[in-house]
Amino acid sequence: MSKTSASRIVGPDATALTERSRLAFDLDVDIAVVGAGLAGLTVALEAARLGASVAVLEGRHVGWNASGHQLGTVMPGYGLPIGDLIARIGFEDTRELWALSRQGAEYVRANATEELIPGIALSGGALEVSNVEIGDKLIARLQMLGEDFETEVEGWQVDRVRAELKTDRYFHGVYYPKAFQIDGRNYVHGLAALARRAGARIFEDTPVVSIDPSGIRKRIVTPSARLRASHIVLAGNIHLGAPLRRLSETLLPVWRYAALTAPLGDKLAETIAFRGSVIDSDGIDHFRVVEGDRLMWASPETTWAVSPARFAPAIARRIRTIFPQLGPVEIAEAWSGAIGQTVHGMPQIGQLRKGLWVASGFGRQGLNTTAMAGQLIARSIFWGDERWRLFSPFELVWAGGTTGRVAGYAIGMWQRGSSAAAGALARYRERARTKERISEARLAEANRQAGTRAPQRRPPPGRPRPQGPQRPAPVNREGEGGS
């Protein structure tokens, strides 16, 4: 994936630290993994820890795509909201899937120690903020997460959110104290180092050009070698291509763009006090403060690849829209990664035929879910753990080819447009209410000084006149039309 600058600002360029080795000789292993992203590397690490001989075949280099360009936020759950999951598969299975997603997050936490992965920089807490007022929905959601899904959460009122993030763009928030963030680039390269240490062999610059999954020993062809394995795990995400094109076509490729600002000085701390990850509930913005006074921010998406340099100004504008007090923001580095979005919004995890496994479609939330997939597949191969079957209701659905990409982009734009419009309306209502309250206070004060009582509002026709004290009718309403 491309970057606007070759220099590394967040963490070392770990790709340069390891010497790449290409598969140049034929090989026989227990498990062959296609793809050295988070999914493939976790399968490899877990399978090697369980004693298998493992080879990972990577067409470019470790973390080349999304896995080496993510923001490192680790949360429970999936891209698909809990309510939609319950509607689709029922409450009990949703609970089990949710528990697996939490275990995935804990798996990342267990690996993400400074001893195992130097420079991992783990810090705690993530905040999901809403672009609209969702007070009542928030309470229901908190209850469900806390009581039914055993997930530690706190509901933050608007004032609390705005004390931490000085913007009128966000309203309520759900705080996940057990969520955390890590240096995403260091994590994927650390995972590769752990897998190697456990005995897995990782071959880079080794694209898999075809596979023959029939028979007990399956065959893989690369440009300069052949490989035989009892199990093949396809973890190539959207780039899998020729070896199983029908599988690639079940994913809608979505390029997500991110950037790191130049140091922003003290004004950043005055604007953003919160030190964990912030994610808005519409999936538009995702950011956090790094290195004390820089912002790392992911925002726009496209369904075809565009140079990240072209999106740097858009990200700077987005930051300024949310936090105008930061003034013009200089972007020091911009990058992108392609995520695979499934039609149903859930990852593809499971066995396609005996010994042929798939782990892909992790969307925007890939850290906990790839960790979970790696564990599920390795444990199924070795221990017969069948919990991957919980993903069976989410079949491989064709994502619509080029037409699907155009439609996906249009739907994405429409969703962003509609949530932006809902956000604008919510802010308008809030301003109107504030103005109304100020007018009422002024009127009450004027009445108090004049020693008069406020005029009574007439009830609508047909409704009994209320008995209790009445609210003064506002005069000189500036924000007419708000509710």
Q: Provide the binding-site residues for ligand FAD, judged by CB under 6 A.
A: 34-40, 57-60, 64-67, 69-73, 207-208, 235-237, 239-241, 243, 256, 258, 298, 337, 339, 360, 362-367, 370
Length of the chain: 483
CA 265 – CA 103 distance, rounded (Å): 38
Kind and range of the H or E run holding 300: strand 294-302
Q: Least separation, in Å, of the C-beta of 147 and ligand FAD?
A: 25
Closer of 27 and 426 to ligand FAD (Cβ): 27
Indicate if the alpha-carbon torsion angle 326, 425, 284, 145 is positive or negative: positive
Q: How far is the CB of 347 from ligand FAD (least distance, A)?
A: 8
CB atoms within 10 A of CB 2: 13
Judged by beta carbon, residue 59 or residue 404, the one nearer ligand FAD is: 59
C-alpha separations of 63 from 317, 460, 468 in Å:
28, 65, 67
Please report how close the Cβ of residue 246 comes to ligand FAD at its closest, in angstroms: 14
| 86: phi then psi, degrees, rounded to nearest 5 | -60, -45
Q: In whole angstroms, how close is the CB of 370 to ligand FAD at the nearest point? A: 5
Query: Which residues are bridge partners to 334 per DSSP?
Result: 259
- What are the CA-CA distances from residue 70 to residues 93, 365, 432 (Å)? 29, 9, 39
**Do 357 and 232 contact (CB within 8 A), yes or no?**
yes
Structure-block tokens of residue 418 = 């509609």
Q: How far is the CB of 168 from ligand FAD (least distance, A)?
A: 25
Between residues 156 and 311, which has the closer beta carbon with respect to ligand FAD? 311
Provide the 3-class DSSP secondary structure of residue 176. strand
Rounded least distance, CB 448 to ligand FAD, Å: 54
CB of 238 to ligand FAD, least distance (A): 7
What phi, psi does 357 have (nearest 5°)?
Answer: -115, 155
Q: Which is nearer to ligand FAD, 173 or 361 (CB)?
A: 361
Q: How far is the CB of 207 from ligand FAD (least distance, A)?
A: 4
Among positive and negative, which fits the CA dihedral 128, 129, 132, 136? positive
398: helix, coil or strand? coil
Give kind and range of the element (H or E) at residue 255.
strand 252-261
Please, what sign has the CA dihedral across residues 187, 189, 193, 198?
positive
Cα 222 from Cα 210, distance rounded (Å) = 7
CA–CA gap between residue 281 and residue 131 (Å, rounded): 7
Judging by DSSP bridges, how do beta strands 225-234 and 27-34 pair with one another? parallel
Q: Which is nearer to ligand FAD, 249 or 436 (CB)?
A: 249
Closest to ligand FAD by CB, 60 or 169 = 60
Rank residues 132 and 298 by Cβ distance to ligand FAD and give the closer one: 298
Name the minimum Å distance from CB 430 to ligand FAD: 29
> Of 43, 202, 71, 182, which is closest to residue 118 (Cα–Cα)?
182
Least distance (Å) between residue 229 CB and ligand FAD: 14
Nearer to ligand FAD, 138 or 247 (CB): 247
Measured from the CB atom, the residue of 235 and 252 that comes closer to ligand FAD is 235
CB nearer to ligand FAD: pick between 120 and 454: 120
